[in-house]
Amino acid sequence: MRKRILAIISLAVISVAATAQSANFDLAKSLDVQNSILKQLSANYVDSVQFGKLINTGINAMLSSLDPYTVYYPEEDEDDVQMMTTGIYGGVGSLIKKRPNEAVLITEPYPDSPAVKAGLQPGDSIIAIDGKSVYGETSQQSSDRMKGQPGSKVVFKVVKGRTGNVEDVTVKRERIHISNIEHYCLLRGNIGYVSITGFTQGMTAELRNVVQELKASGAERLIIDLRGNGGGLMDEAIKLMSLFVPKGTVVVSSKGRAKGTNVEYRTQTDPIDTKIPVMVMINSGSASASEIVAGAFQDLDRGTIAGVRSFGKGLIQSVRPTSFNGTLKVTTGKYYTPSGRCVQAIDYSHRNEDGSVGAIPDSLTHEFKTAGGRTVKDGGGITPDIIVEHDKYSRPTISLVYNDILGDYALKYYKEHETIAPADEFALTDEEYEDFVAFCQDKEFDWRSGTDAEIEKLIEVAKYDGLYDNCKAEIEALKSKLDINKAEALRMVKDEVKPILESDIAVKYYFQRASAIVDLRYDKQLFTSIDKWLEDKQ
């Protein structure tokens, strides 16, 4: 028996050694082939070769074959890495829009930013940066020239949106920090609400102060809104949980192939409140760190999850340095919620149109138990305890947003109105909405109803099958009854479009927080979730 065991062990060691040798040989062989090809291109290709661009293209194609989240950042993209991990970059502090062969349009300066201090406003157009025209540049090229080391200066030649005057505006760049706390307030008198847009460094420290402020103002319950929050640093997700569960609680665990990746992550600090009822809002845009938080609240039975199923990204990325000051964001493992669930979608290459997880057969899922004994499942994303669907938008509304026609009108409105009511009171009048309808008449967007689109498909199929002539009169009669013009289509979707338009306009006057204030007023999903949450607790 002993000899048989030793033989098995020996075979296993030989097998592992052979596998390692085979992997190393394959790597060396592949590198040698690549080097040989590059030498041949250098010596024989008909035109000169930009090897830096060629190599980066090859790297990006290679990494994309692994998963969507493993990405290489060369040294010149270091600002993107800083923005990804810290929410900080050096620049002027404004969202911009640039179409081909047009100026750079200031659309949304950040509060207290260098742009605001220099007097830049929504609707101002930058036609030159440091004396060089922006026409012919891509949006990214102009954006890169606007960024720079904090303390350095940049000179813009600006056409002022409200007056048309041309001015030279000097802006001193600063370290721009974009807060992950979008908005917080009290709802219904005693429910604290906070919307979090990301998980960059320092988010939880800011959240701690917000929660304490809300409690001091009378909050007896708390809503953490993670809808649309695509995640960020796992460490910040763990720190967030440390505010609400005892020190030493397991929040998430990771499993990977490399040494040191099989780890349990516990809270490291004392909480501020382990009793306050918490509801976490999620949707198909809630991913990664958002799902760690939602999964931990659910598995520990510390909070109620509401909304719709989350994105389903259970992969962990680590940031690793490469030669020549590059950075590799590489998937190093999968994370697991306290009950043992992996929320990673079973197949991340096949998703719904919005990127969320598709339907998963029960046969492919497994059951797990929360701390209180409730059953939860894996298979992709976090399934809420309270499922409340969000509003569905029509084809014209989606097309208006996609083509940024709402944003264009918001800039027009800003140019024509010096002031508006506070964000929580601002609303468009019927006359102003009609002005928007008139504004859209020469704009290109798909204003057809879903029915119109389907009838056109029906006509195409009928023609293809040779049946159209037999039923042409009936189809055309139906099409005539359902056919509406652009203005009528916009009036039909007024209830959908008006809230979005009010939000876009309010931002121009009161910055990004105003958007959240306006959006809350129309948030049926949130308030329905609150009603159900309160009913469950009675």
Enzyme catalytic residues: 288, 299, 313
Q: How far apart are CA 382 and CA 380, in angstroms?
A: 7
Structure tokens, 97: 């829009």
Phi first, then psi: what are they for 423, rounded to 5°?
-55, -35
Helix axes 234-242, 289-299, angle to 10 degrees: 30
Asked if residues 312 and 344 have their Cβ atoms less than 8 Å apart, the reply is: yes
DSSP helix/strand/coil, 356: coil
Type of residue at 500: I
Asked if residues 181 and 196 have their Cβ atoms less than 8 Å apart, the reply is: yes
Structure tokens, 403: 């083509």
In DSSP terms, 156 is beta-bridged to: 129, 169
DSSP helix/strand/coil, 198: coil
Q: How far apart are CA 205 and CA 233, in angstroms?
A: 14
Helix axes 405-416, 395-402, angle to 10 degrees: 70
Type of residue at 487: A
DSSP helix/strand/coil, 119: coil
DSSP helix/strand/coil, 256: coil
Cβ neighbors of 385 (< 8 A, separation 6 or more) are 298, 304, 305, 306
Q: How far apart are CA 386 and CA 380, in angstroms?
A: 17
3-state secondary structure string, 396-419?
A: HHHHHHHCCHHHHHHHHHHHHCCC
Asked if residues 412 and 440 have their Cβ atoms less than 8 Å apart, the reply is: no
Q: How far apart are CA 52 and CA 49, in angstroms?
A: 9
Asked if residues 217 and 186 have their Cβ atoms less than 8 Å apart, the reply is: yes
Asked if residues 132 and 118 have their Cβ atoms less than 8 Å apart, the reply is: no
Q: How far apart are CA 423 and CA 482, in angstroms?
A: 38
Question: SS3 breakdown of the chain: % helix, strand, coil, rounded to 5?
Answer: 45, 20, 35
Of 254, 266, 260, 230, nearest to 334 by C-alpha is: 254
Ramachandran region, residue 88 (left: φ > 0; alpha: ψ -120 to 50; beta: rest): beta
